[in-house]
Amino acid sequence: MSFTVKLGFCVVSLLDRAEVLGQFDRDSVSWENKPTRGEEVDLQTPATEVDQMIVQLNEFILPSSLIESFDVYRGEKYKEAIKAVPESTLAWFLEMLNRYRGPEDRKESLLEVFDPFMYTENHPAWDSPPGKVIELPALTSEIVAMAEKGSKLAEVARDEIRQFRHHADSYDDEELMQLGEIAKAGLADQKTVFQTRNEIIRYLALNASAGMEDLWVADGTEWLEAPVRRIEFPDMVARRKEQLLHGQLAPALKEEDFVCYTDDEVRGFACDMRSLFLHDRSRHLAICTGCKKRLEAWTKIISGFDNKIATKTGWPDA
């Protein structure tokens, strides 16, 4: 899940033109199932270029909410899990899991397959300040373990495990363990320890299943009534700030670059984006989702006002 706001005036490309964080480097973007340079030229569109720049800018985001702090933590754990896995293997994992999920439920990345955010609709963490503890609904594999025998949930789970067992014949033990660890990282699962091949098969079958997701969408009672998962993680705001100050993710920032814009400054940027590049802290916009959202809101207001005065029918009746 990405939290970078896609502003109507494409703040990403504006920042790139202003060399706020250095020129956008397409080769530095790591993503699963990456095509060759020749294939990339064929696939490239303005939309995919923006998406790739957003992927890169996400590396610089300073979390402004609890859910963003958790997402940064989850992203770091995922990177650790795939660090030693070849890109070709990651692409194969994704393709095989998409075959298991079915043509109508394909995902674009392994992080999307093993994504706890589908269970966070209306979660208070979206509006809570950054923190180090989040409580989420139990994993599907945990829900099934508590389900009554003969229930619809248990029956669907049994069918999904049976189907994935045939699918798992494509993996040797090492590959299956790699995929299991990737799944745990994506789900931010701090408790599960795999002992046998069958345990990994069951875990992957249930937590990657489109069928189980459909049950959640239809009736999430079992998930909502089960004991929550309590996930503790480091102070990701402090960690990300340290990385940015020491130039580990981009050209080093200064302490003043972390100070949010005033309301007057945001309104000024919305009226004239050139003023952003003349500002002595223009790089702040690249790391702060809070200021991005404020700027997006004001940009919509200004745009709506401009459209109204440009159209005769937009004037209120006298």
Q: What is the mean pLDDT of residues 288-295?
A: 85
Residues 6+ positions from 32 with CB-CB distance below 8 Å:
87, 90, 91, 94, 109, 110
Which tokens is 177 given?
A: 């363990």
pLDDT tens, residue by residue, 167-203: 899 899 999 999 999 999 999 999 999 999 999 999 9
Domain coordinates of the chain in residue numbers? 61-237
pTM of the predicted model as reported, rounded to 2 decimal places: 0.68
pLDDT at 307: 65
Per-residue burial over 203-234, b if 16 or more Cβ lie within 10 Å, else e, is bbbbbbbbbbbebbeeeeebbeebeebebebe
Return mean pLDDT, the chain.
Answer: 80
- DSSP class of residue 288 equals B
Token pair 């006002």 in the structure block, residue: 305
Separation of alpha carbons 8 and 139, rounded Å:
36
CA–CA distance, 48 with 27 (Å, rounded to integer): 14
Higher pLDDT, 61 or 189: 189
Dump pLDDT digits (tens) for 28-43.
Answer: 433 344 444 444 444 4
